[in-house]
Structure 1
Amino acid sequence: MAFRPLHDRILVRRVESEEKTKGGIIIPDTAKEKPQEGEVLAVGPGARGEQGQIQPLDVKVGDRILFGKWSGTEIKIDGEDLLIMKESDVMGIIEARAAEKIAA
């Protein structure tokens, strides 16, 4: 199913966190928190300004983002758990180099 967010909303898939800590401790599923990192799957056209002009969004499809723990609305599309949130809920975009350092 194709989904196109409206206005300044974005569709995000959570990126799963590591199963182990840096020290090698395995984290059980019951102790895991929901990841606050995700990949943008779709973006809306942007919010309208006071003069009615559309302000394009800073995030784009494929960006890895950080968002607040309670940000967005959880939905299920084609059996996949996704989030819809406003661009203002996004704290920042993870650049490719930073993402590699986090993964290492």
Structure 2
Amino acid sequence: MAAKRLIPTLNRVLVEKIVAPSKTAAGILLPEKSSKLNSGKVVAVGPGSLDDAGNRIPVALKEGETVLLPEFGGTQVKLGDKEFHLFREEDILGTLHD
């Protein structure tokens, strides 16, 4: 997997955005606006940031978690034919659970 070549630094998180379906099971096309999701799957996390004393503060997120993303922000990264986004841990809005 191409994403494994990029290891985020400090408290950054590499996320692959979840693409919403563009049509229903019956074949009805959905408008682009209704299919926009601000969620993604964590692909890789950095080791964490350092506090004033030099101690490592680990990232609270783990690979494989589904997260809620801000509407804007992050750095777009293209690896191979896939598109990913890098976010700082504090920019991630929360985790989504079933």
Q: TM-score, normalised by structure 2?
A: 0.82
Match of 2:22 in 1: 19
Match of 2:83 in 1: 81
Match of 1:100 in 2: none
Contact in 2 for aligned 1:34/1:69 (Cα 8 Å): no
2: CA distance, partners of 1:17 / 1:34: 6
RMSD (Å) for aligned C-alpha atoms: 2.2
**How far off its partner does 1:34 sit?**
4.7
1: CA distance, partners of 2:35 / 2:69: 14
Name the count of aligned residue pairs. 93
Q: Judging changes above 3 Å, is the alpha-carbon distance between structure 1 residues 33 and 17 closer, same or farther for their aligned structure 2 residues?
A: closer
- Percent pairwise identity: 29
Structure 2: gaps spanning 5 or more residues:
none
Counterpart pick for 1:90 among 89, 92, 98: 92
Q: TM-score, normalised by structure 1?
A: 0.78
2: CA distance, partners of 1:9 / 1:40: 11
